[in-house]
Each structure stands twice: as C-alpha cells, then as structure tokens.
Amino acid sequence: MFVDSHCHLDKLDYQELHNGIQDVIAKAKAANVTELLSVGVTLDSFPNMLEMIEPYDNVYASCGVHPLDVDSDFALDTLNEYASHPRVVAIGETGLDYHYQPETAELQRLRFEQQVDLAVKLNKPLIIHTRNAREDTLDILRNGQAQRCGGVIHCFTEDLAFAEAAMELGFYISISGIVTFRQATELKQVVKALPLERLLIETDSPYLAPVPHRGKQNQPAYVVEVAAYIAQLKGCPLHEVGQKTSENFRNLFLR
C-alpha cells in the first residue's frame, strides 16, 4: 500500500489523459496507491479543488499560498476558514523560493510567517516548499515554533544538514520523482542516510514524473516508482517502504 502525500489534482490533464478525477483515483488504486493529499497553492483555486476531491473519502486536501504565488489574493480569515474544513489536513504549500523569485523574498517571508502562525494556532501540520533559502526557512520555522504543529519538507532537494535540522523540529522529509533522475547524485546519498521512519513519498503531480515516465505528465499512480527507487537505494523490500511511508503519512496528517 502506498500514499501520494503531495499532488495537485486540480492541475492534471482532464482533456486528453484522464476521464475525470475518479479515473485518476482508479488508476492510483490499481497501482495500490490508496490515499492522496491534494495540495493547494492559492486561495483562489482552493474552493474548486476542494469540490473536486470532496466526494472521495481517501483524498485529503491542504490549503495555503505557495511562495511563487504570493502575488495572488491573500486574506488570513479566508485561509483560516478554508483550513477549518474537516477534509483539510494541513497548511501549505508555503515556504520560500529564492531560486525562481528572489525579487518577492520579503513578501514570501511575511506570507510564510503568517501561515506558520496559523498552522500552530490550528495545530495542523505544515507543507513546506523551500528552494535556495535554507537559513531563512529554518529561522522562520524556529521563530514561529513550528515544532508544535510539525510538518513536512516536500519535494526534498536540500542537503543532509538541512534534513537533520528539519527533523530536529519534528518534520518529515518527502521524496519526489527527482530521486530517480540520473543527475540527482547528492539527493540519492541523502535519501540513503535518512531513516525510513522520517520519510514520505510524493509525486507532486502533474510535475516531475519519475523515471521511467519522465517527460510524461505525472500522476499519483507513479508514486510507486519513487518508493521502488528508495527501496533499491536502501536495500530493503518495496512493501516496507510503502508500509512505513503510509504509516508516517497517517501519523503526520491524520492524527
């Protein structure tokens, strides 16, 4: 059994590739992927995403404003209202991305701090996106007491020291299809060194399809390829990676 801990179900191709969200969920189930978390990136897009996933008991949602979407509409009371919906299990994605948008760094930090405060207040875990902003990410998590709500560093691409600092705050580390890419040599070493007890797996669909699907649009069923790659790196059975990461998912998001 496998869980896709991070996908954007509202962004998949429903024209050519899938016959509605039920088709995506059925393809996942056929691959033994039994639970999905569909992650919000703006307040504007959240109601539609929630409406899409609500009929399916095995699909959860998060709400938040992505660091690359900080120019979208934002109101704390709206976020608070969305976050209080019973199917919403996390706040995010939020965080910092200085790689793609260094020019919005100040606003990114403000939005990140606001979302950390809300997550702590509501005691919902955080889904963190971070790129080229290690120090500021850790500072904001520490200053905001994020260890009280916990969370996950999603689509992890940082170094081992950053993973260890995040784990010290009680955070999980989520591995995406990037680990299967040939050039991701450092990430492979980091994944080898991290305990299975702290790992989640994700697709980040529709982005980052793992090998051997690279170049196609990603979908939750493909999370099994990420699990298989981790099993191979760690020299442990695939079912153990599936079981452990599913258990971690439940401990973090369905507590």
List residues near Zn ion by CB under 5 A. 129, 204
Cβ 130 to Zn ion shortest distance, Å: 9
User: Residue 207: helix, strand or coil by DSSP?
Assistant: coil
CA separation, residue 254 to residues 65, 220, 247 (Å) = 21, 19, 10
Nearer CB in complex with Zn ion: 95/234: 95
* Residue 159 or 240 having the CB closest to Zn ion: 159
Closest CB 41 distance from Zn ion, rounded Å:
7
Nearer to Zn ion, 174 or 243 (CB): 174
Q: Supply the minimum distance, in Å, between the C-beta of residue 236 and Zn ion.
A: 27
- Size (the chain), residues: 255
Based on CB atoms, which residue is closest to Zn ion, 150 or 235?
150
What's the closest the beta carbon of residue 223 comes to Zn ion, in angstroms?
13
Shortest Å distance, C-beta 40 to Zn ion: 9
Angle at 233 between CA 230 and CA 236, to 5 degrees: 75
Q: Pick the closer one to Zn ion by CB: 11 or 142.
A: 11
Closer to Zn ion by CB, 66 or 188: give it. Answer: 66
Classify 221 as helix, strand or coil: helix
Q: Residue 128: which of 155, 89, 94 has the closest Cα?
A: 94
Closest CA to 250 of 25, 26, 29, 35: 35
CB of 66 to Zn ion, least distance (A): 7
Q: Which residue is nearest to Zn ion (CB)?
A: 129
Range list of H helices, the chain = 21-30, 46-53, 76-83, 105-122, 134-143, 160-168, 185-193, 223-234, 238-253
DSSP class of residue 217 equals P
Distance, CA of 139 to CA of 187 (rounded, Å): 23
Structural tokens at position 170: 């009680």
